[in-house]
Amino acid sequence: MEAAELAARIRAGERVAVALACRKIDERRPGHRELLAALLPSTGRARVIGVTGSPGAGKSTLVTALVEKLRGRGERVGVVAVDPTSPFSGGALLGDRIRMQRHGGDPEVFVRSLASRGALGGLSETTFDVVRVLDAWGANTIVVETVGAGQGEVDVLGVADTVIVVIAPGMGDDVQANKAGILEIADVFAVNKADRPGADAAEHALRAALDLVPRAPERYRTAIVRTVATTGEGVDALLAQLDAHGAWLASTPTGAAVRRKRARRAAHTRLGAALLELCIGELGAQWSETVERVAARELDVAEAAAALREALRAGGG
């Protein structure tokens, strides 16, 4: 199918077209770039919520509860589950799929799981692209779930307008160690599993850790909400905080500045990845040979990069 036709069908709200586009993007099939370019004018409307936190904190359960609330408002919703640790679509993703089946029959919810294929910077790029497709499809809100484990996830979260970090009792050490800079990236904290003992301690530890993070006075005051994802308790309050943050982004000068900064950072990441993809394609075998030689410590990485740049220059004439 031509990129223009597929784009038109996505814009018209056809789920089959969305699924086709996601597969095209995931596999980096020919034509995926043309498709994304064709979709560009119909993007930028959806609100993107990032959800991260330690494994097992209850992210997927919370996302499911959140989707239910958003559906209750009549919103069209996209969900992207990102698992950078899983090279296959098994494990956690399979579990997510089963949980998300609660929305399986709902034509106004589209769920897509993404697993790392080991490509350079590939996962965050794929996430950005899939989010763009769901945006063009007409999703009002897109929720991106990722396991917080490092820089890769922070890059993935660059796609989000608002970031929820989910913690659970007994996971306070992660917070104190500020794993993956979660204290800095969170706009809203969900202290989930509030039905379990230790929720008080978890919340106190979180507040104490937050107090230690230096922040400009005009910065958004990170909200903390207690939730029980399994029953839906606190999810209305969570949604209210998401709305409050969204309003802050949209209506205050600092919010606008934050939005611009995030957009710039995301553009930086995506442009870098796109440029790299082009260069690698142009270099052909020389790229993989150089990678091997750097890995074997035969070449210094900066020198190797300079040599590749020379090769590109010579090739480009």
**Which stretches of the chain bind ligand GTP, using CB under 6 A?**
55-61, 92, 147, 192-193, 195-196, 228-230
Question: Smallest distance from the beta carbon of 78 to Mg ion, in angstroms?
Answer: 16
Name 76's Cβ contacts closer than 8 Å, sequence gap at least 6. 108, 109, 137, 138, 139, 140
Interacting residue ranges for Mg ion, rule: CB under 5 A: 59-60, 96
Q: Where are the alpha helices (DSSP H) in the chain?
A: 3-11, 15-26, 32-39, 59-72, 91-100, 122-137, 151-156, 172-176, 182-185, 199-211, 235-251, 253-283, 285-295, 301-316
Residue type, 247: A
> Residue 178 and residue 54: Cα distance in Å, rounded?
12
Choose between 7 and 79: whose C-beta lies nearer to Mg ion.
79
Choose between 189 and 220: whose C-beta lies nearer to Mg ion.
189
Name 133's Cβ contacts closer than 8 Å, sequence gap at least 6. 10, 18, 21, 22, 25, 36, 39
> Residue 111 and residue 97: Cα distance in Å, rounded?
8
228 binds, among ligand GTP, Mg ion, none (CB under 5 to 8 A by kind): ligand GTP
230 binds, among ligand GTP, Mg ion, none (CB under 5 to 8 A by kind): ligand GTP
Question: Smallest distance from the beta carbon of 96 to ligand GTP, in angstroms?
Answer: 6
192 binds, among ligand GTP, Mg ion, none (CB under 5 to 8 A by kind): ligand GTP
Question: Smallest distance from the beta carbon of 290 to ligand GTP, in angstroms?
Answer: 36
Q: Copy the structure tokens of residue 250.
A: 């949209």
Question: Smallest distance from the beta carbon of 225 to Mg ion, in angstroms?
Answer: 19
154 binds, among Mg ion, ligand GTP, none (CB under 5 to 8 A by kind): none
Question: Smallest distance from the beta carbon of 90 to Mg ion, in angstroms?
Answer: 13
Cα angle at 170 between 92 and 234, to 5 degrees?
75
57 binds, among Mg ion, ligand GTP, none (CB under 5 to 8 A by kind): ligand GTP
Residue sitting closest to ligand GTP (CB): 58
